[in-house]
Amino acid sequence: MASNSNTVEKTTPEVDISGQVESFSIATAPSEDHAHHHHKHHLLHKYNESGETAEDDDHDDACCPRSPVTFGPSPAVEKSHGLTRLLKNNRAWSKAIRERQPDFFEKCSKGQQPKVFWIGCSDSRVPENELLQLAPGEVFTHRNIANVVVGTDLNCLSVLQYAVDVLKVEHVVVCGHYGCGGVAAALGDSSFGLIDHWLGNIKQVKQEHLSNLNEIKDTEEKCRALVEINCRNSVLTVAKTPTMRAAWERGQNVEIIGMVYDIQTGLLGELGYHIKSMDDLQSHLKVDSNALFAARASKAATA
């Protein structure tokens, strides 16, 4: 990777990765009315038990029973997470699921048929099952620091192959999130030890789009922009793998979707990258940050 430390040093403020939780944290408040909460169908959660598409009815538990993952506020409201408390939480969770669906674990033990493969960040604030409101068995997952996908990561590529070739997932979701400590660290030049090797992948993406990133003076906004670029880059890396090429060549119905999660709102946003075939990939061979930043500037001007 070509270095350009002088340029970065003058234009990019140093970012302290150890302070990311504090600097990007938000005050959390309990839901205004948990008693009247209804499960909302997500874009990807629209199937009944037979695997066919179900009608999108927010109140229809028959076609889309509410995920047993979340039953309201987490019981672990204290800061202490000792083994005793963790085991107590697990027993309460298991009991609540069995009371709602007695045969849930029996069915789960017989195999998995997830329709979604999620590639996300290891950040503890981005739990894919929770934010998608999907139950255990419905999301196949690979997570790493800053949801990076590179052609040399045999771990990620092996999970991708299993998800596509064996589980036959229909959606490969690559999801970044705002307030990502890994991306923020890649904006600066500080050394953090072993993790520097991993952050080098993001730094390379940063260098490729440095002129546009340097147009953004606000550090947090610059981080948000790099989060989006990094996620788009990972989407394209997935799309270019032999696994995806082979799947599309044999006519398999599987798409790659780029998303970003906003930890300040709890909402997912789509990045405009839906790649369903090799033809789709041809129009997205490289992340065009010129177009992205032109759109960003236009949106800011009209806001």
Examine the residue annotation and report whether 108 is marked as an active-site residue of this protein. Answer: no
Examine the residue annotation and report whether 121 is marked as an active-site residue of this protein. Answer: yes
Catalytic residue among 41, 45, 123, 171: 123
Examine the residue annotation and report whether 156 is marked as an active-site residue of this protein. Answer: no
Catalytic residue among 177, 209, 224, 296: 177
37 is in an annotated binding site: no
123 is in an annotated binding site: yes
103 is in an annotated binding site: no
Examine the residue annotation and report whether 224 is marked as an active-site residue of this protein. Answer: no
Catalytic residue among 64, 180, 223, 231: 180
Examine the residue annotation and report whether 125 is marked as an active-site residue of this protein. Answer: yes
41 is in an annotated binding site: no
Place of tokens 């660290």: 185
Catalytic residue among 42, 66, 125, 274: 125
- Listed in sequence order, the residues at least 6 apart from 106 whose beta carbon sits closer than 8 Å to its beta carbon are none
Residues annotated in a binding site for Zn(2+): 121, 123, 177, 180
Q: Which residues are catalytic?
A: 121, 123, 125, 177, 180
Residues annotated in a binding site: 121, 123, 177, 180
